[in-house]
Amino acid sequence: MSTRSLPPSVISTLPGGYYTDEGVFASEQARIFESMWFCVVRSSDLGKPGAFRTVQVGRESVLVTRARNGSIRAFLNVCRHRGARICTEESGEVKRAFQCPYHAWTYDLEGKLIAAPNLTKMPDIDRVEFGLVNVHVREWLGYVWVCLADEPPSFEADVTGEVVTRLGDGDLIKNYDIENLEVGRRIVYDVKANWKLIIENFMECYHCATIHPELTEVLPEFADGYAAQSFVGHGAEFGEEIQGFTVDGSEGVDRIQGVSEDQDRRYYAITIKPQVFINLVPDHVIIHRMFPLAADRTIVECDWLFRKDVVEGGKDLGPSVELFHRVNVQDFDACERCQPAMNSRAYAGGGVLVPSEHHIGAFHDWVLEKLG
Amino acid sequence: MIPACPLAALPRGEAYRLDVEPPIALFHTEDGEIYAIDDTCTHQDASLADGWLEGCEVECPLHASRFDLRTGRVDAPPAKLPVRTHRVVVEDGTVYVVPSEEPPNLPPGIRAGTA
């Protein structure tokens, strides 16, 4: 870290190289993305046995599917024979088994090797031992979380615990019934920026009055620059004239039944390190999942979740989706504006965090601790 | 007549591979019939007992050719030749097979002894 002396109002960011260096990114892949719980797909994306998705987690391609008994399974997407990628599509459906397109080694939906040319001539090949390599799976909030570590960290401490830390109570999020909401809209953003820039951006609101005119109209306190995430349990309140969390402040859709009076007309944001953002408003929930692919490239999948009856009833979700879609585009443009400068001499020692951004320093400390 | 397995070891929907030369696959269909055919697909050395039983057909687990358990006929390439069928006898809770005396249609690698 930089040893430069700074005036007391500001603290240093990470040096620019942390956002561009391939070695740093490789360490992050190993020590963060492949070691922590990582949210990969919405459970409902895997509608029936054999439906699958492939996702990038750290350096690994992971194959996520639903087995015959309805449970979710996840495997490293690598044939145990000669290492060919089993599935190259991002999503799809197999009838009964995954088959390597190279020599036709064939695995059932639980990963067990069930057939291969000449397999009966090799009775010493244990079909489980030579099955696909399983990774740990949890389901929470209607999402599938995987962990590639041999011994996964505590899900309660690392994942659900972040929600408790932010909201001050683990039960408040249950009011939104997130696992039973339905995806009303999904937008995938290909962002040419380091994943940490995206997290840092999400954690602060110093930029809100400048780049988020629509959001600041709905949540006037955002103009102060203090992020909703700065204070435990605080949700940013809608402006007086605002009827709903929509692009023009017009009325939204039907409120999620369990949302309490205290939570009504408020916006809550939660960061679950290293790659999930949860945004709670009375009538919908917005969840971002990041997939860091390179030091300067991150795919962000964003889901807008509404009550089932709202989605099935064909209500116009446009004004609700448009608000945060604009916020996303505004934020990701800003991150892409920073990324090329991370290599600049001007940023070699990093930049600074103003008081309303000082809590980002804790994120930087966390990254440095993870990288050892 | 060769004893294959106890009837109890072959529930409906399941298969049993009898390790004779060449191996024989027994299938107990959902309808309760028991059939025996050559276990080895005629296209490549794959065990049909590891395949997918649907009605009176089994689909090879490797390349999806389907064999009729009653006639041994194959529906579509890559396999082109039929498998042999074998007579099945169930007596006192044991499943027996009477192997066919026809020459088998083994895949090229097996015929050449290279597999």
* DSSP symbol at A255: P
Is A123 an 8 Å CB contact of chain B? no
A106/B61 CB distance under 8 A: yes
Of A99, A114, A118, the CB nearest to B50: A114
Residue A258 sits at the chain B interface (C-beta within 8 Å): no
Measured CA to CA, the distance from residue B92 to residue B85 in angstroms comes to 23
Q: Best of A103, A108, A120 to disrupt the B interface by mutation (most B CBs within 10 Å)?
A: A120
| Residue A276 main-chain phi, psi, to 5 deg | -125, 135
* Tokens (6 digits) for A122: 């090799």
Give yes or no for a contact between A63 and A78, defined as CB atoms under 8 angstroms apart: no
Beta strand pairing call for A38-42 and A113-115: unpaired
| H, E, C per residue of A113-152 | EEECCCHHHCCCCCCCCCCCCECEEEEECCEEEEECCCCC
Q: How many CB atoms lie within 10 A of CB B14?
A: 13
Residues sharing a CB contact under 8 Å with residue A156, sequence separation 6 or more, in sequence order: none
User: Residues of A with CB below 8 A from B66's CB?
Assistant: none
Tell me the C-alpha distance between A105 and A48, whole Å: 23
Determine, for residues A121 and B45 on separate chains, whether the beta-carbon distance falls below 8 Å.
Answer: yes
On whether the A182-371 domain is CATH 3.40.640.10, my answer is no
Q: Residue A3: which residues within 8 A CB-CB, separation 6 or more? A: none
> Could you say which architecture CATH assigns to the domain B2-111?
3-layer Sandwich (2.102)
CB within 8 Å: A97 and B61: yes
Compute CA distances A10 → A4, A16, A156, whole Å: 12, 17, 34
For chain B, say whether A230 makes contact (Cβ under 8 Å). no
Q: Does A114 touch chain B (CB under 8 A)?
A: yes
> Measured between beta carbons, which residues in chain B are less than 8 angstroms from residue A109?
none
Contact B61 A117 (CB under 8 A): no
Domain ranges of chain B: 2-111
Domain ranges of chain A: 38-147, 182-371
Amino acid identity, residue A55?
V
Length of chain B: 115
The reply to whether A104 touches chain B by the CB within 8 Å rule is yes
Q: How far is A117 from chain B (nearest CA, A)?
A: 5
Pick from A77, A73, A46: nearest CA to A59: A77
Amino acid A113: pLDDT: 97
Task: Name the residue facing A115 among B23, B62, B109 (closest C-beta).
Answer: B62
Using alpha carbons, select from A135, A159, A139 the residue that is nearest to residue A148: A135
Distances (CA, A) of B114 to A118, A120, A267, B54: 10, 14, 69, 32
From first to last of the 372 residues of chain A, give the pLDDT tens digit.
445 689 999 999 999 999 999 999 999 999 999 999 999 999 999 999 999 999 999 999 999 999 999 999 999 999 999 999 999 999 999 999 999 999 999 999 999 999 999 999 999 999 999 999 999 999 999 999 999 999 999 999 999 999 998 888 888 999 999 999 999 999 999 999 999 999 999 999 999 999 999 999 999 999 887 765 667 788 999 999 999 999 999 999 999 999 999 899 999 999 999 999 999 999 999 999 999 999 999 999 999 999 999 999 988 999 999 999 999 999 999 999 999 999 999 999 999 999 999 999 999 999 999 999
Query: In this structure, which amino acid lies at residue A233?
Result: G
Please say whether the structural domain A38-147 has been given the CATH code 3.20.20.370.
no
Q: Which of A292, A328, A320 is nearest to A304 (CA)?
A: A320
pLDDT tops 90 at residue B114: no
CA distance A76 to A147: 11
Residue A116 sits at the chain B interface (C-beta within 8 Å): yes
Q: Nearest residue of B to residue A118 by CA position?
A: B45
Interface of A with B in 34-63 (CB under 8 A): none
* DSSP string computed for A166-192: HHS-TTGGGGG-GGG-EEEEEEEEEE-
Query: Å from A124 to nearest chain B CA?
Result: 15
| Structure confidence at residue B109 (pLDDT) | 74
SS (H, E, C) A6-32: CCCCCEECCCHHHHCCHHHHHHHHHHH
ipTM over 0.95: no
pTM (2 decimals)?
A: 0.92
Contact A320, A252 (CB under 8 A): yes
Q: Do B62 and A99 touch (CB under 8 A)?
A: yes
> Which of chain B's residues have a Cβ under 8 Å away from the Cβ of A96?
52
Question: Which residue among B47, B51, B52 places its CB closest to the CB of A120?
Answer: B47
Q: What is the DSSP letter of B39?
A: S
